Amino acid sequence: MKFDVMPVATEKQIEEIEAVASLAWQECSAGLLYSEKQNTDLFDEMHSKESMKRLMQAGQIYYMLLADNQLAGYLAFRNNGTSIFLYILYIKPAFRRKGLGRKALEHFDKMLSGDEFRHIRKLTLRVPQSYPQVIHILKHLDFQITKTFDGQSDRGHPLNEYVMERKIKRNLAIDYGK
């Protein structure tokens, strides 16, 4: 399976990512103990086309993950100075269990090996405590739980999450195959 990563830059690409984000949110919000309104608010706050545009203007970067030239998922991150905060890494169900998450992280590591990012030491993310399967996968990808985050979203919805981190793996030689 050919793997590629493409920066999201156009309105059409943002719309494509929003459609995948909607699929991801439907799948993932089922595990959250929120009301329908809270789920809608959280999606609008973090994953709608309008919020993506706002977040991109504030420095968040989105990439499309392509498998055999098909949109297989996406990731979003932000440079926080000494770390990269990974907001989302989502693989569509039809493309799972094919190593695409690992390939996305390997691409990330390779990108972060350049001089521009030499000060970056780790990837950080937060994952809901109610997602044991995702936590297991992240541990398999060398992430470790570093602390618990019990806070609120911008709209006051409770967030009970783990903060997970992983060191940047420098100078990886990557061959994704064809």
176 part of a folded domain: no
13 part of a folded domain: yes
178 part of a folded domain: no
pLDDT in tens, 90-144: 888 888 889 888 898 888 888 877 777 778 888 899 888 888 888 988 898 889 9
Burial class (CB in 10 A: 0-12, 13-18, 19+), 74: buried
SS3 content of the chain, % helix, strand, coil (to 5): 40, 30, 30
Alpha-carbon torsion angle 34, 165, 105, 66, nearest 10? 10
173 part of a folded domain: no
Residue 134 φ then ψ, to 5°: -65, -40
Instruction: Specify the pLDDT at position 101.
Output: 85
114 part of a folded domain: yes
Number of domains in the chain: 1
159 part of a folded domain: yes
Confidence of residue 65 (pLDDT cuts 50, 70, 90): very high
Number of C-beta neighbours around residue 178 at 10 A: 7
80 part of a folded domain: yes
Instruction: Specify the pLDDT at position 110.
Output: 84
Q: Of 49, 59, 121, 129, which is closest to residue 87 (Cα–Cα)?
A: 59
174 part of a folded domain: no
Range of the domain at 21: 3-167
Greater confidence, 22 or 146? 146
pTM beyond 0.85: no
CATH number at residue 30: 3.40.630.30
Confidence of residue 178 (pLDDT cuts 50, 70, 90): very low
Q: Of 15, 26, 162, 161, which is closest to residue 74 (Cα–Cα)?
A: 15
